[in-house]
Amino acid sequence: MTGRTSIKRLAVYCGSASPADTRYVTLARQIGAELARRGIGVVYGGGKLGLMGAVAYGALDAGGEVIGVIPEALVGGEVANHDCTELHVVPGMHERKKAFTDLSDGFLTIPGGVGTMDELWEAVSWAQLGYHAKPVGLLNAYGFYDHLLAFNRHMIEVGFIREAHAGIIIAEPDLDILLARMEAHVPHRPIFAMKAEDL
């Protein structure tokens, strides 16, 4: 993707762990650098460990903007990344996720664990309900999210996800294609705007 983008900042959701397979940390650093190269700021969890730290330092080393949002309970223990362009300390996890939504133009999920899943599904849920109309991107690197995407299709097929919301998760294995699709995102019709027969 070349040229200017309407996406100025992305909330990047990823793990704070460093898996034994080093390609995940390497990927995270490359993603941070690539977002910086495109002029896209990173909004993330404010830590310096694992993939989170790799994304942040990849972007910072490339001259990008990095805004960290971290709960008070995680600031101690040398977890907080004070090298961020901005570091927001918030009371708890709910305020953290609200800040991610308020500060970003979309959401980019890369490999991670339980916290990453919590953030991804809240972004999807809030999109369904109409709390935001921003693109929700999922980088399926190395097939990491194959099973999650299969389960998402299963929820659609069974009827727990409405057809109007089947495309909320924008998934691609390639970052360039994923960002292009996120840039072209057209908001769907949220639940609050639906009629009873559509629910």
pTM of the model: 0.92
Residue 118 confidence (pLDDT): 96
Phi, psi angle pair for 61, to nearest 5°:
-65, -25
* Model confidence at 4: pLDDT above 50: no
Instruction: Please state the rounded mean pLDDT for residues 13-34.
Output: 97
The structure tokens 């907080």 sit at 80
Residue 194 confidence (pLDDT): 56
Q: In which band, very low, low, confident or very high, does the pLDDT at 195 lie, cut at 50, 70 and 90?
A: low
Residue 2 confidence (pLDDT): 41
Instruction: Please state the rounded mean pLDDT for residues 147-175.
Output: 96
Residue 148 confidence (pLDDT): 98
Q: Which of 38, 31, 45 is nearest to 7 (CA)?
A: 38
Residue 137 confidence (pLDDT): 98
Residue 71 confidence (pLDDT): 93
In percent, the amount of the chain with pLDDT more than 70 equals 93
Q: How far apart are CA 89 and CA 69, in angstroms?
A: 6
Q: Coil, helix or strand for 86?
A: strand
Domains belonging to the chain, first-starting first, are 13-144+154-198 (3.40.50.450)
Strands 9-13 and 41-44: parallel
Instruction: Please state the rounded mean pLDDT for residues 84-99.
Output: 95
Residue type, 51: L
Residue type, 143: G
Other Cβ atoms within 10 Å of 54 Cβ, number: 25
**In the 8-state DSSP scheme, what is residue 184?**
T
Residue 75 confidence (pLDDT): 87
Residue 197 confidence (pLDDT): 55
Residues 38-85: tens digit of each pLDDT: 999 999 999 999 999 999 999 999 999 999 999 998 887 668 999 999
Q: DSSP characters for 118-175?
A: HHHHHHHHHHHHTS----EEEE-GGGTTHHHHHHHHHHHHHTSS-GGGTTSEEEESSH
